[in-house]
Amino acid sequence: MLRERLRTGRMLLFVFLGLVAAGSIRAQSKSQMKTLIKTQFEFAAKQYKLMAGQVPKDKMPQTFDPKTGKSVYSNMKWWCSGFYPGALWLIYEQTGDKQIKAEAEKKLAELAPMKHYKGNHDLGFMINCSFGNAFRLTRDAAYAKTLDTAAATLALRYRPKIHSIQSWNKSENFTCPVIIDNMMNLELLCWVSQHTGDTSFLHIAREHANTTIKNHYRPDYSSYHVVDYDPNTGDIIAKRTWQGANDSSSWARGQAWGLYGFTMMYRFTKSKAYLSQAEHIAHYILTNPSIPEDMVPYWDYDAPGIPDAPRDASAAAVTASALLELARYAPRKEAKNYVAAARKILISLSSDKYRARLGENGDFILMHSTGAVPFKSEVDSPLSYADYYYLEALARYKHWYL
């Protein structure tokens, strides 16, 4: 009897010690991530102050060309023009640095006329990432008005026959193209609909998302990049790529755009169809046989030359941010897997392999992103949107999981 009691006591002790150890590991992990996130935002503030000193008036940072040693800047019509001020607001939120805020306000003033831009679908990227964060942090009604106007402008590109927003204008390459990236611009419509009560914007967003599920995705939940339509009949002309390896390949950033977009659509609508779509896309990404150990994907999951193909840190950053939100809606087991994967991505991106040194890399934060391999454009380069979604993912991790 005594021996049995001792054995039972030892077993309970081992269980207790195991629980203590597990709790200690979790506490250590939280402590490490807290330090990592604080360190990265402090670095980002220093790096972006250096960048701010170089950015010309009415231009936005785009990338840095290591061959020439020169920074590349875009005009305000470039689809990435909102990411620099958006990143500044994210940095300000975490650091309270007034110099960072002043730079953000200055660049918003330059960007504001783009709320009327009708040249393409990218007003969500341009206005929501910049003015959306500005309004969230300041509650300035003028910023909300800019968002409202931009949503009305974006809605003009809705084509009833195809039940989607036309991405690019007609060209020699496409008739009425819709790209997977467009899922990201729906947040502007959803937010303004919620903010103003104008349900027409939400209707357009839902129509677009539903059509994307129907026409962009293959049975394995990988996405075509471009679906080209006949705007008069709604018929599909072709399913193609523009930045992927080939028409049937799985362009890495495109998979990330879809994951983020459908997760966001679930946030606004609570439609289980969008949550299911996001979960399937996450499964495709996280179980893909070509995903590297550090979770930073090659530029295309079917890229030729793997494992020597270029990586895309921007796709990794978007994926991490999306997974952190998806984990809030998923069942507990899947949620833990999503957070663990996002954490691994953030740790990788914060390492010396991907994060630049102070004053280097054109003062961008991340290295090794890929813009468009088929055009030999921005390959293995820093990109403004890589920085933006990296910072957003860090902030989301801090707000939701620490």
Give catalytic residue positions: 122, 181
Amino acid at 208: H
Q: Are 299 and 311 in contact (CB under 8 A)?
A: yes
Can you say how many angstroms the Cα of residue 191 is from the centroid of all Cα atoms in its chain? 17
CA distance 66 to 182: 30
Helix (H, G, I), strand (E, B) or coil at 306: coil
Residue with tokens 């879809």: 258
Q: Are 253 and 322 in contact (CB under 8 A)?
A: no
| Termini Cα distance of the chain | 46
Amino acid at 93: E
CA distance 299 to 80: 19
Task: Tally Cβ neighbours within 10 Å of residue 93.
Answer: 18
What is the sign of the dihedral through the CA atoms of 138, 91, 390 and 180? positive
Pick from 131, 129, 148, 125: which is nearest to 78 by CA? 125
Q: Are 310 and 265 in contact (CB under 8 A)?
A: no
CA distance 216 to 212: 5
Tell me how far CA of residue 211 lies from CA of 12, 194, 346, in angstroms.
56, 22, 32
Can you say how many angstroms the Cα of residue 37 is from the centroid of all Cα atoms in its chain? 18
